[in-house]
């Protein structure tokens, strides 16, 4: 398969025309051996006094001042547009997701991974849609339809934060180049973020699940897929106490399968051959038990792998 890791959106996914936006210029990169957890640019919002265990957040215009400088982030603003209530614990987890950063210097350039912003959704959906069309051998004319489905899916998934998150990776070969979107991956942390109709073999809903990982075709086999996987595992270790992480890999995807095995995943179940009657490829369900973190850099022992 063309994607670096493999699980699928439950609707076989899509966004808008594919583009290579220049996201954020970062003049200095620091490797993942020295993790960085810093807040990003802020958008103001109002947090009501904590009289109960819940917080209600209403966005303000960017011209107004913030009543809470410690937690004012665009992710919180965008995530709460559904008007649902968040507990204090959920609010803290949203803030952590917003500040999460993963930097890695590769042999060919620099990789920067963090949670997807609202304004980056279209380019992320484009990457996913083109990859899914490629993996399913669909004509290019179907990409537009996939884009619509994928975008609706990602919008829905964002309403489930902090129980799930979409990470994006940006890559540049040297300091003079602009960042380009290199890959993406979705991470589900618990049952509240689980898909209602997960692919088969069905993973446990209470366990963390990694899915929809893809790397831009021109940037594959540089270690980007490996570090998207490592960033996902590190985030899971910080966001949940569950240590059994699951993912799917199609049987025909030899490179991703080898990458997962090298990363410590093992096959726990495989699709029955009858799944071919549904015009789907047979998939492995794989699992790995990740270690309990005692320090932010404890998962830095993973080395770069020449896949995806």
**Token code pair at residue 117:** 């912003």
Of 89, 98, 85, 79, the closest CA to residue 55 belongs to: 85
Reference 260, options 283, 288, 232; nearest CA is 288
Tallying the residues shown for the chain, one arrives at: 308
Known catalytic membership, residue 24:
no
Catalytic residue among 153, 260, 265, 307: 260
118: buried, middle or exposed (CB in 10 Å: 19+, 13-18, 0-12)? middle
- Cα separation, 203 vs 223, in Å, equals 26
Within the chain, where are the H helices?
74-79, 88-99, 121-135, 143-158, 224-239, 254-262
* Region label for 88, one of left (φ > 0), alpha (ψ between -120 and 50) or beta (otherwise): alpha
- Rounded Cα distance between 8 and 24, Å, is 29
Per the CB < 8 A criterion, the answer to whether 251 and 283 are in contact is yes
Give dist(CA 88, CA 289) in Å, integer.
28
Distance CA 276, CA 44 (A): 51
Catalytic residue ranges: 260
């Amino acid at each position: 398969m063309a994607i670096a890791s493999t699980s699928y959106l439950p609707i076989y996914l899509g966004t808008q025309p594919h583009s290579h936006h220049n996201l954020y210029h970062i003049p200095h990169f620091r490797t993942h051996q020295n993790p960085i957890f810093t807040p990003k640019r802020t958008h103001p919002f109002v947090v009501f006094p904590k009289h109960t265990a819940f917080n209600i957040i209403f966005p303000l215009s960017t011209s107004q001042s913030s009543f809470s400088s410690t937690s004012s982030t665009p992710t919180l603003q965008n995530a709460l547009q559904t008007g649902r209530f968040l507990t204090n614990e959920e609010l803290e987890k949203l803030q952590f997701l917003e500040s999460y950063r993963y930097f890695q210097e590769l042999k060919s350039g620099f990789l920067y991974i963090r949670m997807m912003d609202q304004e980056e959704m279209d380019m992320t959906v484009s990457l996913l849609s083109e990859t899914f069309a490629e993996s399913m051998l669909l004509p290019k004319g179907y990409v537009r339809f996939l884009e619509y489905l994928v975008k609706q899916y990602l919008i829905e998934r964002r309403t489930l934060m902090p129980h799930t998150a979409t990470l994006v990776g940006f890559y540049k070969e040297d300091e003079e180049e602009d960042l380009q979107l290199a890959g993406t991956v979705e991470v589900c942390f618990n049952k509240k973020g689980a898909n209602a109709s997960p692919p088969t073999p069905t993973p446990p809903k209470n366990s963390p699940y990694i899915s929809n990982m893809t790397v831009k075709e021109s940037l594959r086999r540089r270690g980007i897929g490996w570090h998207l996987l490592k960033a996902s595992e590190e985030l899971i270790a910080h966001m949940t106490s569950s240590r059994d992480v699951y993912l799917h890999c199609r049987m025909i995807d030899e490179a991703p399968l080898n990458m997962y095995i090298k990363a410590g995943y093992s096959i726990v179940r495989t699709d029955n051959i009858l799944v071919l009657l549904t015009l789907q490829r047979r998939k492995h369900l794989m699992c790995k038990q990740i270690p309990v973190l005692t320090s932010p850099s404890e998962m830095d022992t993973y080395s770069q792998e020449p896949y995806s």
